[in-house]
Amino acid sequence: MSTTINDIDYGPLAQLLGKWVGNKGQDNAPDAQGNPDKTAFTDEITFTPAGSAENAEEQNLVSIKYHHVVRKLKNGHIFHDQIGHWIYEKSTNVIMHSLSIPRGVCLLAGGIYQETNGKSLFNVSANADSQEYGIVQSPFMFKKAKTKTFTMNLSVDGDELHYHETMLLHIYGKDFEHTDQSTLLRVKYD
């Protein structure tokens, strides 16, 4: 498979391009008492090319952007919507994942692209205390439902994509491990 589109080589990010759908999602989020509330979900992610960028005449990046829509398995209602970019630097194998969720939370997570046993691994993390791979949140969220850390392990094997993400929250006066995972299949390439 060529990783070049319109003269831009997207490297490992090219493996993500297209539309993916899944019906095996598992969400673990806090209920109103701060106890685990588990919800099965279906989700779809569409990744499209977003071009290249040069920073300070030195750093050369390529990126793709995505839209992730998550629906409750039981009734099809949307309960999570997320947009973002995956960014890659060829000379260092650095990957970055910027995302925004409509709760007043944005972040930039970073890591190193890896391949093992035929699988491509996009593992990234961010920490609210970091000024580099950090988390930005509204005054309300910072005070009442702070996202302290974010880690995401995303792997691709051909037309199968799996992700597992953990958001360590501080909500209702205690820490809570909010997790989401899903396996999706590619249904469309462009």
**Binding stretches for ligand HEM (CB under 6 A):** 27, 29-30, 39, 41, 70, 79-80, 101, 103, 105, 107, 141, 145, 147, 150, 167, 169, 171, 178, 180
Closest to ligand HEM by CB, 8 vs 101, is: 101
Name the strand (E) or helix (H) holding 69.
strand 59-72
- The SS3 call for residue 35 is coil
CB of 138 to ligand HEM, least distance (A): 10
What one-character DSSP code corresponds to residue 143?
H
CB of 124 to ligand HEM, least distance (A): 12
CA separation (Å) from 7 to 12, 13, 51, 56, 189? 15, 15, 10, 22, 18
| Rounded Cα–Cα distance for residues 37 and 44 (Å) | 22
Could you tell me the smallest distance in angstroms from the CB atom of residue 41 to ligand HEM?
6
**Which lies closer to ligand HEM via its Cβ, residue 103 or residue 143?**
103
The minimum distance between CB 171 and ligand HEM, in angstroms, equals 6
